[in-house]
A and B are shown apart, each in its own frame.
Chain A
């Protein structure tokens, strides 16, 4: 089944404890991205990647890191999480080299930083 898989689905952590949210897609998509969703603000892009070893900052990259060593995986790293990073996170992938195609979203990761 074609899908984008995020793990974990729920995470509660403490301030400053490094964490990684994994994202994997099995559709051979080139474009992958991370979003955070907060009430009243919609989806805001954190980072995106046009292809392997190519990553770019989105609207809200501060406090996050990503890597794209393989086409299928695009992990989101929070080196030192803070409470303002409590949010619902979505990973998405799209075929082709840009954003002008349909995006497939993972099921989301609800992160709470205390």
Chain B
């Protein structure tokens, strides 16, 4: 089953913060986060491999709660370049990958 992302879409002003959530009904072995700009291929942001792991990438960070089978992506002080669709992906026990439906983030000046 595909992980569930929320919200489906969010509109921000430059400098505002956002949180994107990803939850799964299955046990998670790893959580991946990607960003896709319109008309382009998805681009890797980060992977979280262990429950409780947190990672950061400039002003974008993520957490992974293995027990709750959830991950959250945090975007702070958003910039125009953050606009795009964010996908979480979860790895299954047999190395298959499932992605959520995506969260469309729009940052306005």
Contact = CB atoms under 8 A, between A and B. Distances in A.
B94 interface: yes
Given A42-B87, A42-B102, A100 B29 contact: yes
B96 A59 contact: yes
B14 interface: no
Interface of A: 31, 33, 35, 40-45, 48, 50, 56, 58-59, 90, 97-108
Contacts, number: 68
B42 A44 contact: no
A48 B87 contact: no
Given A48-B95, A98-B95, A105-B41, A41 B101 contact: yes
**B: contact size bracket:** 20 to 34
The secondary structure that dominates the B interface is: loop
Given A90-B42, A100-B29, A45 B96 contact: yes
17 contacts: A31-B95, A42-B2, A42-B87, A42-B99, A45-B99, A48-B97, A97-B95, A98-B91, A99-B91, A99-B95, A100-B30, A101-B47, A103-B42, A103-B44, A103-B97, A105-B41, A107-B41
